Amino acid sequence: MPTQESVTGGGVEHNFAGPHPELGYAPLPERRVTARRTEGDRVIYDVSYTIDRHGLRATPARDPAAGPPEACIALFGDSITFGEGVSDEATFAWRLVERSRGRVVAGNFAFSGYGPHHALAQLQAGRVAATLDCVPTHAIYLFIPEHIARVAGRMFWDRQGPRYRIGPDGFVRRDGSFDGPGPSAAAVPDLDEGLLGWRRWLRGASRTGGADEAALAVAVLATLRRDLGVLAPGIAFHTILWNPYEDRRTREVAAGLAGAGIPTLRLRDILPEFLVDRTPWVLSPDDWHPNAVAHDRIATAIATRILARAP
């Protein structure tokens, strides 16, 4: 029986998360969480999260009698992929599996506040191999511009997170945690963007860091793809660039992913309406997390543009 929890608000400081030796922090297994966020008298969301025995956000259970799935997918990212603010069955991970009628299996390895370094650390710690009951055929990482800063250790909630350095071969190697010995990132705005960088930093809309950190984010994702290929030769690795705004660093990441040969879907490819008026697609004007309708659109895009199947 899952432990019942109740939390108020979003973010990463949930009481259903705890310290993790490889990741810094992670959801505690076997939790049923009621998450509620309000703005004044207005309810932004009031939903339940189910964390399974592996510490992952729940997806539909696989029928043990069923044959091998056509697609076995590892999903990585942060609160968007985790599904902050929407119920279990509304996450794009759940919708993708449910609509496939058993042909797709997915593991949701995302959590609020995570970045590319958490995805790579999970893989290298053996968590993906130990959790999925099928050999992954696909892996998808959903990237937001703020991940550039996260992979460099700028976030206050991720002091014990996994730290990586780029090696001579262009791939990254684990270098302890952000609070360990060695240089750490300074929390400064993106000075290359001048006044715009300062404005974004002050209002908290973007902490995209510098060019070296953008390169680090690409290198971590390239290493993730390489190491996934060791686990599952022939696996298809894709990124989704969820960028509601454009800045220099996001363009550098997009160019780096293209240069590394990593296929990328952009927000404009999945939900072009978001860039015109995000209101119908987010939880509230104050919370840009995708709502259930947007999650369904993401699931459709993955099914039709990555898995190449009818929705």
Domain spans of the chain, in order of start: 63-104+114-306
Q: What digits encode the pLDDT tens for the residues 84-101?
A: 999 999 999 999 999 998
Structure tokens at 128: 């993906």
Q: Helices 92-99 and 292-301: crossing angle, nearest 10°?
A: 50
Report DSSP letters for 93-119, one per residue. Answer: HHHHHHHTTTSEEEEE---TT--HHHH
Query: What number of CA atoms fall less than 13 Å from residue 273's CA on the CB side?
Result: 9
Q: What is the mean pLDDT of residues 247-255?
A: 91
pLDDT of the residue at 12: 47
- Global pTM value: 0.91
Under 8 Å between Cβ of 256 and 250 = no
Under 8 Å between Cβ of 295 and 90 = yes
Q: HEC string of 50-79?
A: EECCCCCECCCCCCCCCCCCCEEEEEECCH
The yes or no reply on domain 63-104+114-306 and CATH 3.40.50.1110 is: yes
Average model confidence (pLDDT) for the chain? 88
Q: What digits encode the pLDDT tens for the residues 94-152?
A: 999 999 988 999 999 999 999 999 999 999 999 999 999 899 999 999 999 999 989 99
pLDDT of the residue at 216: 96
pLDDT of the residue at 184: 65
- Quote the CA–CA distance of 208 and 201 in Å, as a whole number: 9
Q: What digits encode the pLDDT tens for the residues 2-52?
A: 565 556 555 544 568 999 999 999 999 999 988 888 888 888 999 999 999
